[in-house]
Amino acid sequence: MRRPVVVLGDANVDLLIDTPAEISGPVKPRIAPPQLHGGGTGANTAVGLARLEVPVTFVGVVGDDGYGRMICADLAQDGIDTSALVVRPDVFTPMVLALVYPNGERLLAIWPPDGGAPTHLRPEDIPVDVIRNAGWLHTTGISLRWRPVREAALYAMQIAHEAGVPVSLDLNLRLELWGWENDMRITLDRALPLTDILFGSGPEEIVPLADVDSVPEAAQHLAGGKRTVVARMGPQGALVALPDGVAQQVSGFAVDVVDTLGAGDAFDSGFIAARVAGYDALEAARWGNATAALKITRQGARAVPSRAEVMQLLGRP
């Protein structure tokens, strides 16, 4: 039996509103009815992995409310092990409002602004034996922003690191929401030594973190001979900087964009699925590009493809 990928992270609901490019003026455009979907960077990646036929255990917190119950049901429907998903009556499951524009780009706002239930994961909630026996641990910068989840995530990363379990971290800095806080820089200084694979948007996250002007130089700097850095580059695909200092661009796939929400999470799931299947980092980036490309042709962060769809785009039997 394959060892599961453990995803530690946030789970919320996304309220999607298709938004016209121009909403001012004397004649107000007609707005389509909002759509409610499962969301959260961690939960999205977990669902993506499950649909790529990878066994997944999800670690996180939801509130004992309608949104929380919806999340639990959605994850279970995709076959994800939710035995380490804590349900608490004293916290609120967050909602992300996503305004989706005609070009597929989006504007996000979160309620409650302090992150809600996912921020309440505690170190004592971490399933130590599950992580020690996992095939992979994945988490995101969302889980490093607030306490106590910050300490819980770092604890889980330390457990995995000591057990020889590969650890991936998606920066997910969301600078447009929270800015570049010094406290986050200090936390990342603690997290990076425990990280084997670092994901992030090239110009929006990898460059600011490294404080280097070009994406290739920034990725190589962060790799530092110790880890693989994967800089997502949108339509251009991804740039992969290996620990030996080699950086290579992996081309993306041309598709018609409907909604970019969750594209990075979909990429991560494709990349991790390839790595646990035994492929190298460059081939894994192709899987990530294919998974993200298929996702952005559909609306909703959870509109991730099946393994068969990804294999077809990759030209594999």
81 is catalytic: no
Tokens representing 211 are 């404080």
Angle ∠(24,27,32) on CA atoms, nearest 5:
80
Residue given tokens 């530690």 in the structure block: 8
DSSP string, the chain: -PPPEEEE---EEEEEEE--S---SSSPPPPPPPEEEEE-HHHHHHHHHHHTT--EEEEEEEESSHHHHHHHHHHHHTT-EEEEEEEETTS---EEEEEE-TTS-EEEEEESTT--GGGG--GGGS-HHHHHT-SEEEEEGGGGSSTTHHHHHHHHHHHHHHHT--EEEE----HHHH---HHHHHHHHHHGGG-SEEEEEIIIIIHHHHT-SSHHHHHHHHHTTT-EEEEE-GGG-EEEE-TTS-EEEE-------S--TTHHHHHHHHHHHHHHTT--HHHHHHHHHHHHHHHTTSSSTT-PPPHHHHHHHHT--
Tokens representing 301 are 């962060």
What are residue 161's DSSP bridge partners?
A: none
Tokens representing 203 are 């110009």
- Report pLDDT for 54: 98
Q: Please report whether residue 68 resides in a domain.
A: yes
Angle ∠(38,39,44) on CA atoms, nearest 5:
105
DSSP string, 292-306: HHHHTTSSSTT-PPP
Count of CB atoms situated within 10 Å of the CB of 182: 7
Q: Please report whether residue 34 resides in a domain.
A: no
How do the pLDDT tens digits run along the chain, 317 residues long? 689 999 999 999 988 887 776 555 555 566 778 889 899 999 999 999 999 999 999 999 999 999 999 999 999 999 999 999 999 999 999 998 888 777 767 778 888 888 899 999 999 999 999 999 999 999 999 999 989 999 999 999 999 999 999 999 999 887 655 566 678 888 999 999 999 999 999 989 999 889 888 999 999 999 999 999 999 999 999 999 999 889 999 999 999 998 888 999 999 999 999 999 999 999 999 999 999 999 999 988 889 999 999 999 999 87
Residue given tokens 């004592």 in the structure block: 124
Name the catalytic one among 78, 125, 265, 268: 265
Query: How many structural domains is the chain composed of?
Result: 1
Tokens representing 81 are 């092990």
Q: Please report whether residue 253 resides in a domain.
A: yes
Which residue from 139, 154, 145 is spatially nearest to 7, judged by alpha carbons?
Answer: 139
Q: Please report whether residue 16 resides in a domain.
A: no
Q: Please report whether residue 27 resides in a domain.
A: no
Burial of 5 (0-12, 13-18, 19+ CB in 10 A): buried
Pairing of strands 136-140, 106-111: unpaired
Q: Please report whether residue 252 resides in a domain.
A: yes
CATH number at residue 210: 3.40.1190.20
Question: What's the rounded Cα separation, in Å, for the pair 117 and 263?
Answer: 23
Domain that holds residue 264: 5-9+40-93+114-314
Q: Please report whether residue 101 resides in a domain.
A: no
Burial of 50 (0-12, 13-18, 19+ CB in 10 A): buried
Residue given tokens 């910068």 in the structure block: 141
Q: Please report whether residue 131 resides in a domain.
A: yes
